[in-house]
Structure 1
């Protein structure tokens, strides 16, 4: 082979080698770019997820505070109503068991008196 042919073949081989290397580098570049984009998207999503989680926690705390406040208010209302009913029934000053026994004794006495009156009216 002549030197000219050999130089031409070497030149074309070098061109082909350079072209193949550029294709390889373009593939690496595309991979690197996709990794960077994916990392950027991941970082953005991670930040958004953290912010969303913090927002949800904050809203949950507000709802919990509102629920506690309403529950406390309702509990106070119920306690006040029970207290009023106890006062009306006379159960707030004396121990309730003793008061119930007294009322039961009065009911028994009234029942006995009604029975006597009914017996006398039938005679």
Structure 2
């Protein structure tokens, strides 16, 4: 082999190696660009999904508050009825009757105070 042939072969190997190295470099840039795009898409999707979940959560919260409010009212009524029943059993006096008597006493007290002022 002549030295010219060896030099040409070496140049071909170097040029081929440079081409391969350039292609590897470009492939790396392509991977970086693609992964960056996919990360941005995932970020957008996750933001959208998060916002949707927040809206659903607001709806569920409203429903839960309504349900809790209804159950609280019902529980309060049941406790009050139980207390009235217990009070009646212990005292023999109906709570509603006692409240009516209390109102009458208040009216009598006001009437007595007016009479006392008039004198």
* Structure 1 pair 74–86 and aligned structure 2 pair: CA distance change class (3 A): same
**Post-superposition offset of 1:54:** 1.1
After superposition, where does 1:1-123 map in structure 2 within 5 Å?
9-85=2-78, 89=81, 96=83, 99-103=85-89, 106=92
Normalising by structure 2, what TM-score? 0.63
For each residue in 1:41-79, what CA deviation from the matched residue of structure 2 results, as whole angstroms up to 9, or x when unmatched?
A: 110111112112212211221121111110001111222
The structure with the larger Rg is 1
Q: CA RMSD in A?
A: 2.5
Q: TM-score normalised to the size of structure 1?
A: 0.61
How many aligned positions are there?
Answer: 92
Alpha-carbon distance in structure 1 between the residues aligned to 2:78 and 2:8: 103
Gaps of 5+ in 1: 1-7, 107-123
d(CA) in 1 for partners of 2:71 and 2:87?
A: 26
